[in-house]
Amino acid sequence: MPMEKNNLLTYINERFPIPGVLLISVIVALSTASIPRPYPGSIDSSLIFLVMVAFAAILLRQRITDEFKDKHHDDVNFPTRPFQRGIIDRTNLIILGIIALLTEMAAVLLAGGIVSLIWYMPVLLYSIIMAKDFFCSQWLEKHFTLYFVLHEIIFIFYAIWLCSVFDANISVETFAWIVFFINLLISIEIGRKFTIRKDPKGRVVKDTYIAVWGRETAVIVISIQLMIAGIALSYVKSTIVFALISAFISLFIHLFSRSNIAVKTVIVIHSLLLILSGALL
């Protein structure tokens, strides 16, 4: 049945908050300014915009597929979420997912035509496998860390697609940029779910990083990702500046590790510092 505008806004606000989506999409798009290219110089701003649109669209598509994939889990543990309480139904979720997919594919094609689409196919195919929980959902539920690692692999394919769009050099520097990009995105992903969630009975739900790994381990993992990202970008740009930024931010992460909001904020600041300084240096 047709979805009321207010219901759509409620769903978006609760499950796909625009400010956060725009922020991570901008971070991804601007990170491309550091990609090693044969002819350094200004980058076509339309390409950066298309990357931003494509990334926001894949985030929405993944959000929709997760609604179906995680329905039983959410029914039990988070019954007040929009899909669970009937704010949005299956049909409208599917329509929203199709719109996201079409937007994503349009942005990919506009970014580089058929060649861009071919390089994007691994991203699309891997995201479909992710939506199926790698065809072993029950087993993966018992192996949280492996589940996490398998989901982060998609960033490898995404980074390779970005390199193809921006005509990256085939070089050690490009490999280092891919390492930078992957670890930057992983740190953001861990930060995004750096929280404790509880079910209706007040029990901790074991589906976030600090709930499963513990706060100290999660902070150590984040620090490692930050340092790898900084060192990799330092190699790309031939300056120690980025490694020093990451080391400084890692120290702050540990100092304020008891505050979930502080950890999330520091991760975002780190991402912005690297991509903005990377674009300027």
Give backbone dihedrals phi and psi of 164, rounded to 5 degrees, phi first: -70, -40
Task: Provide the H-helix boundaries in the chain.
Answer: 5-15, 18-31, 45-69, 71-77, 90-131, 137-140, 144-152, 154-165, 172-192, 209-212, 215-237, 241-255, 260-280
With cut-offs at 50, 70 and 90, classify the pLDDT of residue 3.
Answer: low
Sequence-separated (6 or more) residues with CB below 8 Å from residue 38: 167, 169
pTM flag (> 0.85):
yes
Task: List, for residues 155-172, the tens digit of each pLDDT value.
Answer: 999 999 999 999 998 899
CA gap 257, 265 in Å, rounded: 11
211: Cβ contacts below 8 Å, ≥ 6 apart: 196, 197, 204, 205
Long-range contacts from 118-121, C-beta under 8 angstroms, 24+ separation: 119/160, 119/161, 119/164, 119/165, 120/161
Q: How does pLDDT run across 128-148, given as a tens digit for each residue? A: 999 999 999 889 888 999 999
Q: Is the pLDDT of residue 1 over 60?
A: no
The amino acid occupying position 136 is C
What distance lies between CA 117 and its chain's CA centroid? 20
pLDDT value of residue 45: 87
The pLDDT score that the predictor gives to residue 48 is 94
State the pLDDT at residue 40.
Answer: 67
In the structure encoding, which two tokens stand for residue 281, read together?
């240096």
Mean pLDDT throughout 249-278? 94
Considering the chain, what is the average pLDDT of its residues? 93
> Residue 271 corresponds to which tokens in the numbers above?
């991402």
Structure confidence at residue 38 (pLDDT): 80
